[in-house]
Structure 1
Amino acid sequence: MASVPRIRTPELEHSRTRDPLQGFEPKDSYGFIRYLEHGFPNPLVRWHYHEEYELHLIVATRGKVFVGDYIGQFAPGHLVLTGPRLPHNWISTDYPEGGVKLRDHALQFAHEPFESATRLITELRPALPVLERARHGIEFFGISAEAERLFIRIRETRGLRRFSAFVEFLALLAECNEYHQLSDARIQSFDDDTSLAKISAIVAYIAEHCAEDLSLASFAHRANMTESTFSRFFQRATGNTFSEFVNRLRINKACQLLMETDHYIANVCYDVGFNNVANFNRRFLQIKGMTPSEFRRQAGERFGVTVSV
């Protein structure tokens, strides 16, 4: 029998709560791009999400990063782009006594104004695939020094000069080939809209029904393909075989339940579609690099420390 769930949802960050005393730019001092910097400890270190994209660079301390159901390590030079409504937190565990004055550079910007601009300005369109991937979180490698230079340029400028630095930043991200998608299950790029729409519908159905019995044969029939043709199509679209992808979605769903409820691990196993606890534990370790119980323990640390100023 499942225990009574205790919900641990992330805090929604509202515009009205973005206090300049914590490191945000004052409300009327910026346009499309808002700059933020802060040290550690700081009240902003908390499990939260917001409607905007956030580009985030760590310049001091080491610790644990939580993005959606991802748990990892960070150090100076850690550069991540998170998408709208994707929960996140960076918690320093190795820092000098008394903390640090500057730990984070961050930019926040909304999706709709940028997407609208790409309809008129074709030169902005190469950034759209980066923003799509950001919905699952992206960590970039090898560009931290250039990123810090651009963060400082954006902090020190306004208007067209700020926007030009922002566009240069987007170009840097779009051209970076060394990155890690923080969520495992994703759709890769497609050249034609028909194929993209088809695979998006399939993935949406799998995500909605991942706890059910799902077979490659049934989806091949739905797509009007042979099993071998569908298998190749699916692997090209997701980078995974059908069974691997279903397992990854189920593990991601399990992570959500482990983070947000007190359900027993055995119940979580069956709730997400596995019918064998040993297989669930093995798959979880393979995909997340830790056991479900260790994930739940570490996930409990994602709230961070709230410090009054």
Structure 2
Amino acid sequence: MKMSVEQLKSESFLNLPLQLFVNRCSENFVMPFHTHDFIEYSYVAEGRGFHHIGDDIVPVSKGMLFVIPVGIPHVFRPMSTNAAKAPLIIYNCLFNSELIHSLRHILRDEYLIQHLVDLEQNQQHYISVTDHSGRLEEIMIQLYREFSVPGPGSLAMLDTLVSQLIIMTYRQNQQRNDQNYAHNPPVPHDMEAMLLYLRQHLSERIQMKNLVQLSRWSEKKIGRMFIRYTGQTFGAYFQHLRIQKSCELLKQTDHKVSMIAEMVGYQDMDSFYAAFKKITGETPLVYRKKSRV
């Protein structure tokens, strides 16, 4: 039986000019399973318990940090109903797209900005890292103190601390992914099967989500694999496959250009002509004429 889900709204937590909320709380069994329209960084400061997040139930302990995207349902639960005996203490840092926009001049890294946008648009799975060095806890405590007792320069200090939190969590997650990638590299055969699938479905509207379903890999992993094995992004590679096939059809058949465009998945002739000329340097008719000289 699935738990009912309540939605929490930004306006209940985030106020101008901060567009940020930081708290320290003792988790209980009162808070409902919920989603929210803001990004949440949650750090386990004390105790043990469970994090119900999406379809997962994750045992939690001190030092674990979760990044919860917009729209992902979750709730923390302590180990015991006796909160005084076995408390589960969490630091929470909440913010939305308004703060993301204002942090651009600090982060100055498109990968980080896109990471935040993916979290804000529910295009990324939740993240979980462990704070082995204690640095994440230090940042969370500083955030909480600066937010709770603001002083001169607090807005700038909070922006700096949130940026540090984002960068350190992102780096730690990337390092873990890279280590997993090194120890468990994808089998080349799996990638070949994906490329064969694309060649066999040129006329269809294939999107990244279709490849996720096919391979059970994440979109980020698929993106990395395309760069590694083809030297191109998924979109560029698929476009080249389509144009390559259209070249074969122009040389080997007398089909009209419009029919060939449709056979390789283009419904719009202007898009087909633009892609064809960009890749071959010629129009389809000129290419056909030259190929038959």
Quote the RMSD (CA, aligned, Å).
4.0
- Of residues 1, 4, 20, the one that matches 1:9 is 4
Change (3 A) 1:220 1:117: farther
If the length of structure 2 is used for normalisation, what is the TM-score? 0.52
- Find out whether 1:140 has 2:126 as its counterpart: no
Match of 1:171 in 2: 167
Per-residue deviation, 1:59: 1.2
Change (3 A) 1:143 1:33: farther
Per-residue deviation, 1:125: 2.9
- Of residues 1, 20, 32, the one that matches 2:19 is 32
Match of 1:222 in 2: 201
Q: 1:142 and 1:152 mapped to 2: Cα distance?
A: 13
Change (3 A) 1:101 1:243: closer
- Find out whether 1:91 has 2:81 as its counterpart: no
Q: Identity percentage over the alignment?
A: 14
> 1:59 is paired with a residue of what secondary structure?
strand
Match of 1:123 in 2: 108
If the length of structure 1 is used for normalisation, what is the TM-score? 0.50
> 1:37 is paired with a residue of what secondary structure?
strand
Change (3 A) 1:74 1:221: same
- Find out whether 1:242 has 2:214 as its counterpart: yes
> 1:114 is paired with a residue of what secondary structure?
helix
Change (3 A) 1:143 1:124: farther
Q: 2:107 and 2:160 mapped to 1: Cα distance?
A: 15
Q: 1:38 and 1:141 mapped to 2: Cα distance?
A: 19
Per-residue deviation, 1:36: 1.8
Amino acid at match of 1:161: M
Q: 1:124 and 1:50 mapped to 2: Cα distance?
A: 26
Q: 1:50 and 1:144 mapped to 2: Cα distance?
A: 30
Per-residue deviation, 1:217: 6.4
After superposition, give the CA deviation of every residue in 1:79-124 in whole Å (9 maximum; x if it has no partner): 0001111111111115866256770101001025414753x66614
- CA contact 1:39–1:99 (8 Å) conserved in 2: no
- CA contact 1:58–1:75 (8 Å) conserved in 2: yes
Match of 1:110 in 2: 96
> 1:165 is paired with a residue of what secondary structure?
helix
Q: 1:111 and 1:42 mapped to 2: Cα distance?
A: 30
Amino acid at match of 1:33: L
After superposition, give the CA deviation of every residue in 1:158-191 in whole Å (9 maximum; x if it has no partner): 31111111112222122214557xxxxxxxxxxx
Change (3 A) 1:40 1:244: closer
After superposition, give the CA deviation of every residue in 1:20-77 in whole Å (9 maximum; x if it has no partner): xxxxx8x56x60221122113364x321011000000011221221211222211111
- Find out whether 1:52 has 2:38 as its counterpart: yes
Show structure 2 runs of 5+ residues with no match. Answer: 147-153, 178-193, 219-293
- Of residues 41, 44, 64, the one that matches 2:28 is 41
> 1:36 is paired with a residue of what secondary structure?
strand
Per-residue deviation, 1:143: 4.8
Q: Which has the larger radius of gyration?
A: 2
Change (3 A) 1:116 1:72: same
Amino acid at match of 2:160: S
Q: 2:176 and 2:81 mapped to 1: Cα distance?
A: 26
- CA contact 2:67–2:127 (8 Å) conserved in 1: yes
- CA contact 1:52–1:84 (8 Å) conserved in 2: yes
Amino acid at match of 1:151: M
Indicate the structure whose relative CO is greater, using CA pairs within 8 Å and at least 6 residues apart.
1
Show structure 1 runs of 5+ residues with no match. Answer: 1-5, 19-24, 181-214, 247-309
- CA contact 2:19–2:98 (8 Å) conserved in 1: no
Q: 1:15 and 1:244 mapped to 2: Cα distance?
A: 33
Change (3 A) 1:62 1:104: same
Q: 2:200 and 2:36 mapped to 1: Cα distance?
A: 40
After superposition, give the CA deviation of every residue in 1:261-282 in whole Å (9 maximum; x if it has no partner): xxxxxxxxxxxxxxxxxxxxxx
- CA contact 2:51–2:75 (8 Å) conserved in 1: yes
Map 1:196-215 onto structure 2 (within 5 A). none
